[in-house]
Amino acid sequence: MKPATIHYAIRASNPEAHLFEVRCTVSTANPAGQRFALPAWIPGSYLIRDFARHIVSIRAESAGKAVTLTKIDKHTWQAIPTGEKRSSLTVSCEVYAWDLSVRGAHLDQTHAFFNGSSVFLRAVGHEHLPCLVDIQRPLGKRYHNWRVATALSPAEGERGTAHRHGFGTYRAASYAELIDHPVELGDFTLAAFSACGVPHEVVISGRHDCDLARLTGDLERLCAWQIRFFGEPAPMPSYLFLVTAVADGYGGLEHRASTALLCARNDLPYAGMKGTPERYVAFLGLCSHEYFHSWNIKRIRPDAFTAGNLDAENYTTLLWAFEGFTSYYDDLALLRCGLIDQKEWLRLVARTIGKVRRDPGRKRQTLAESSFDAWTKYYRPDENTPNAVVSYYAKGALVALALDLTLRAGTNGRVSLDDVMRALWLRHGERAGHDGVGVGDDDIRLLAEELSGLELEPFFAAAIHGTAELALAPLLKPFGIRLRRQKTSMTPTLGAKTSTDGNEVRLATVYQDSPAQAAGLSAGDLLVAIDGLRVTPDSLEPLLCRRHAGETIRVHAFRRDELMDFTVQLGSPASDKHKLVLKKKRNTLRDGWLQDAAKC
C-alpha cells in the first residue's frame, strides 16, 4: 500500500481575471473535522501578509458530496466531521493573483507566477506527508507554447509525471518543501550553465534584450565561488534563477534551490555592453545575495525559524547575521570571483556606510531590536522610519565588515569571518547526513571567540546591542584603507527629505533634531514658498544654495488644506558621503582579505 500523500492541482483557470483554481485532496482526512490553512507569511519576508485574503471562493466535497466548511479564523477553515475513518476530502478554491512581486502570485495572459504559500492550502496535521502537485496548462491555443520553470522534482513513476519544463505532476517531500519552490509558467527565455558540476538555469520573463552568454558566464563564476567558499558538494542538486524583468523594479526572495528575482530590464546585460555598469553590478549583487542565502538562512537557521510556524510571527534577534552578513558577502563575492575590482567594491562599501550614517534611527534602535521588530517596523516603513529604525541589512553588513577586520587584525590574518561562516555551516548547516541545529543568540560570538582566541563580548555588546557608531576608520587603517567623509554639496540644509509630484515639492521625512523639525515642519507638508518665492523641484536648490548655514528663512507650506508659516534656521551642508581610499603600498592583511578566493 502506498504511503499517504497530499494531492494538489493548480490551473490558471481565468488569466484575464487573474484567477487560479487550486485543489487539495487529503485521502486520510481527520474524521473529527479536517482543518485547512493558508500561511500568514512567506519565509524570507518578515511581514504578516494574510495570503488568505486573496481566496475568492472555497468549497469542499467528499465522495462526490458537498461538505460544509466553517471559517474559524482569518486563514483557517474546518470541514464538518464526517464520522468516517480514512475518508477522502477535497477542498477547491479560487485564488486572485495580481501581486507582481517575489512574495505572492501573479497571473495574466502573458505569464503566471506563484509561491506555494500564496496558493496551496495546508492540511493541518498532515504537514509531514509527501505532496504531489499537478501543474496544469491553461485552456486555449494562446497558451500552447507555455512551459513550466520550477525547482520542484518531477514525480517519477506517477501518472502524468511532468517532463523537464513541462506541465504535469511534481513531487515535494513535505508541505514545507512544497511552498519553498516558486513556479513560473509562460513562454519565457531559458538559459543554462554548470557551476562545480551543479546544473543551474536562468529563466527570464518579460520583454528584454539580455545577453544570455554574458549573464550565465558571470553567474557561473559567482556561483562556483560561493559553492567552493562553503565547500563542495553544494547542498542543492540543481538551482534555478527565476527573473521577472519589468520597467522598474528590484527585489529578491531566497528558496532552497531557487530564487525569485524582480529587476528593471535595463539592469540586465545587453549584447555589446562594455564593462560592468552600476545597474548590472546591482543585479549581480542581488543574485549573489539570494544565492548566499542557500546556506545562510535556508540551511543555517536561527533557533526561532526551526519550528516553522506559518500562522504567526517568528521572532528572532539574529537577522543582522542572516541578512546583514549575507549583505556583506554578496558584493564581496563579486570582488573575489573577479566580477568587479577593488575600486568598485570600496565604492559599494562606502555607499553602505553613508546610508547607515545618514539616518538618525541608528542612534535609537539596536541591531538586535531591529531584527526582532522587523515584523512591525522594518517591513512597515512610514515617514518616521529613518528616525526610528536601523537597517539590519545595511548596518548588519557593516558589523560583518567590522568583525571580519577585528578577527583578521587580532589574529594576524590567521582567522577571519570566512572561517566563522564555514564553521557555522559545518556545525549548524542542514545537509546530507546532518539535520542542522538552530543558531542561538550567542552562538556566533562564541564560535568566533573559539576560533580566534579573542575576547569579543565588548564588540558584540556595542555593535549588536548598542547604538554607538561603529569605529570603522581605525579598523580599516591596518589594512591600508583610509575612510574619508565628504560633503555632498555646499548648500545649507533644511534637514528633511523631499519628494516631488509634477511641479510640487513635499516633505517626505523630517529628520530628528533637524532645522525643519525645530521650526515645526512635518512630513507631508507641501512647500509653497521660501522668502516669498515659489518652490518647485527646479527652484528649491537655487533658493537654498544662495544662503549660508545659520541664516534664517521664511517658509510657507500647506498642511492638508491650511497654509502655514514657518521660520527655519538653516543647518550645515550635509556630509553623509563617504569614500574609502586605498594606500598604494602593498599590504599583506589586505591581500589576504580581498584576494583570498584561491583559499576557497
What digits encode the pLDDT tens for the residues 187-206?
Answer: 999 999 999 999 999 999 99
Share of the chain above pLDDT 90, in %: 90
The average pLDDT across 330-343 equals 97
What digits encode the pLDDT tens for the residues 364-388?
Answer: 999 999 999 999 999 999 999 999 9
User: What b/e sequence results for 171-180 when a residue is b if at least 16 CB atoms lie within 10 Å of its CB, and e otherwise?
Assistant: bbeebbbbbb
d(CA 505, CA 537): 6
Q: Is the pLDDT of residue 478 over 70?
A: yes
d(CA 66, CA 58): 12
Say what the pLDDT of residue 505 is. 97
What digits encode the pLDDT tens for the residues 412-470?
Answer: 999 999 999 999 999 999 998 888 899 999 999 999 999 999 999 999 999 999 999 99
Say what the pLDDT of residue 156 is. 82
* Nine cell digits for residue 95: 485564488
Say what the pLDDT of residue 467 is. 97
User: What b/e sequence results for 474-504 when a residue is b if at least 16 CB atoms lie within 10 Å of its CB, and e otherwise?
Assistant: ebbeebbbebeeeeeeebbbbbbbbeeeeee
Say what the pLDDT of residue 83 is. 60
Could you tell me if 517 and 510 are in contact, meaning their C-beta atoms sit under 8 angstroms apart?
A: yes
Q: Is the pLDDT of residue 598 over 70?
A: no
Instruction: Name the least confident of 75-79, 157-161, 270-274, 355-359.
Output: 157-161
What digits encode the pLDDT tens for the residues 308-323?
Answer: 899 999 999 999 999 9
Say what the pLDDT of residue 41 is. 97
d(CA 406, CA 116): 42
Q: Is the pLDDT of residue 222 over 80?
A: yes
Say what the pLDDT of residue 85 is. 65
- Strand-pair category, 111-114 with 6-14: unpaired
Q: Is the pLDDT of residue 487 over 80?
A: no
- Which of 110, 123, 160 has its CA nearest to residue 23? 123
What digits encode the pLDDT tens for the residues 543-586?
Answer: 999 999 999 999 999 999 999 999 999 999 887 789 999 988 88
d(CA 253, CA 265): 18
Task: For each of the domains in the chain, give its residue range(s) and CATH number, in order of start.
Answer: 6-186 (2.60.40.3650), 188-272 (3.30.2010.30), 295-481+579-600 (1.10.390.10), 496-569 (2.30.42.10)
pLDDT averaged over the chain?
95
Say what the pLDDT of residue 599 is. 43
Q: Considering the entire predicted model, what is its pTM?
A: 0.95
What digits encode the pLDDT tens for the residues 83-132?
Answer: 666 679 999 999 999 999 999 999 999 999 999 999 999 999 999 999 99
The average pLDDT across 58-72 equals 93
The average pLDDT across 15-27 equals 97
Cα 482 to chain centroid distance, Å, stands at: 31
Say what the pLDDT of residue 84 is. 61
The average pLDDT across 130-139 equals 97
- Name the DSSP letter for residue 138: P
Could you tell me if 224 and 230 are in contact, meaning their C-beta atoms sit under 8 angstroms apart?
A: no
